[in-house]
Amino acid sequence: MKNTEKLEIQQIANDKKAFLTGENFYLQHLLGAHREEHGYIFRVWAPNALAVFLVGDFNDWQDWAMEKDPDTGIWQIYCEEANEGDLYKFKVRQADGREILKIDPFAVRFEKRPGDAAELYNFPDKKWKDGLWRGRSKRSNPFKRPLNIYEMHASSWKHHEDGTPYRFAELKDELIPYLVEMNYTHVEFMPLMEHPLGRSWGYQLIGYFALSSYFGTPAEFQDFVEECHLNNIGVFVDWVPGHYCINDDTLPYYDGTPQFEYTDPDRAKNNRWGSINFDLGKPQVQSFLISSAMFWIEMFHIDGIRVDAVSSMIYRDYDEGPWTPNHEGGNRNYEGVYFLQKLNAVIKLAHPNILMIAEESSSDTQITGMIESGALGFDFKWNMGWMNDVLRFYEMDPIFRKDHFNLITFSFMYMMQENFILPLSHDEVVHGKKSLMHKMWGDRYKQFAQLRNLYTYFMTHPGKKLLFMGSEWGQFLEWKFDEGLEWGDLGDSLNQSMQHFTATLNDFYKNQPALWELEESYDTIEIIDADNTAETILSFIRQGKRKKDFLIVILNMTPVERRDFQIGVPYPGTYKEVWNTEMEEFGGTWTKANVDCQTELGDFKQYQQVIKTTVPALGALILKPESINTRKK
């Protein structure tokens, strides 16, 4: 036996041992189908199966018996007849004797729906051209940089005339220029991994290593990400490590016993979503999931992962129905907590610049921050509380807003407890919740005015930003996952103006360091007046590193124009209006901005200087110091 063969055998043995202990983070190199000199080697983990057979195009779907490694429960077979493009499955004789065709959990490509056979696919040897972007990302501090995300469902952004969605080869040519034109810094995709039902939006997966064939080939997605990077756009992908598709021919009870899922049937079944929960405490499952995350990061050069439904992984009572307390009698799922800490630790060790984002709705667990301090180790957390409070406020008739002003001010009390992303996401524009535009109170003109007001508050409130597709121009209809966006809206002048407003606001955000330089500290914000419930106007300052670099934000939440409106300011001098949501170019009625404001002596809360200006009805203003004396406060 040659030395190279001995080394290969030893490496495989080491990989198997690491898999059993939960320390193999490149498990796809061991399991699945792999091209060798004269054929393919197939391996699958099914420890309690009575027998496993390989079936596929290359053997006319006849049973070819696989050989079991009794120490690991891994079955394998070498097949010289297999060729790239062939479809295949594993026939598993389960522990109870039942035979069922199962998918390859490590397949990197599947046939198109409704079929779910794996397809033999060899990744091309890509020579990436995004070295400049990746190098810059390693040197950049994401907490002190603008982060403005365009959230997308890849197959419903645009459709062809025949109703088919754009593939990534087409999105590369149309979406990327649009992202650049709209001044977004990142794009985030709802899950792209293989899933059998479009209605799940990708949140019930079967293929954790496979780009859905619905979106194109893996090579096309690689080219898409590369082109994004060449245009200074980062790419995030949603990922679902908590639960998976219940279909019998996929992962559930793979060998006839609880294999990927919990042994306790109450913990295994996810009643809320009709799916199956991963046993996050099982070492083999940890290897499987962490390998999946590493695969997407390294094969596709994505810049971050948004982990879906974190609450379902860290609380035993999150689901509907019966639940089992932990050994202390509480509701904490310690296996889930440990898994997420391990996931973040492994990824950060290998790729420190990758952003890990949690979609999590509770406040009982520290999500972002150092694992050593007890946190889960994520970089960012979606601020679901902010989203729910703010949308409730903007849906309200303005006559009642003065009595519920805390809905837009309460977030200032906890905004530094986590590193937050402010999400105006897909979850809020579906299932009868209405689009963001449709949520706004009043007639169509007032709805646009309030949407501009909302987006200004969204962009000036501390926290990174995320907006779902279609919301940038105020699409009135709810999002439909199986249709393209209502691009015909842009034939209307108000929708055009709204789209222009969003692009201009995004650009304003990127070019104003006061909106992101100090976001890790309370120094980033100074409240001017959060008590003006009578007029229902909120005002605050966003501060940059330099003393003179700050913005004054004034938000009028009522349909009443406020003339000679007075607020305090920190320094004497002149303040210039740099943002007005009611300008004609944005769909408003103002043709001229307010004149520059000159301070006067006067007491206003903690300030000894005041300015006066006119605040548009349902409008928002941003002022910037033009010429001030910072020695006198």
For the annotated catalytic residues, the residue numbers are 308, 359
* Residue 212 structure tokens: 């859905």
What is the SS3 assignment for 78?
A: strand
Nearest to 385 by CA among 411, 405, 367: 411
125: CB partners within 8 A, 6+ apart: none
Q: Which helix (H) or strand (E) holds 264?
A: none
What is the SS3 assignment for 87?
A: strand
Query: What is the rounded CA–CA span in Å between residue 241 and residue 537?
Result: 43
Instruction: Give, in degrees to the nearest 5, the angle at Cα 460 between 407 and 487.
Output: 90
Task: Give Cα 352 distance to the centre of its chain.
Answer: 18
Q: 384-395 and 444-460 are packed helices; what angle lies between their axes, rounded to 10 degrees? A: 150
Query: What is the rounded CA–CA span in Å between residue 308 and residue 177?
Result: 28
- Please name the residue that has the structure tokens 């779902």: 468
Query: What is the rounded CA–CA span in Å between residue 356 and residue 297?
Result: 11
Query: What is the rounded CA–CA span in Å between residue 390 and residue 405?
Result: 10
DSSP per-residue letters across 559-584:
SS-EEEEEEEESSSEEEEEEEETTBG
* Residue 410 structure tokens: 């309460």
Q: Three-state secondary structure along 440-453?
A: CCCCHHHHHHHHHH
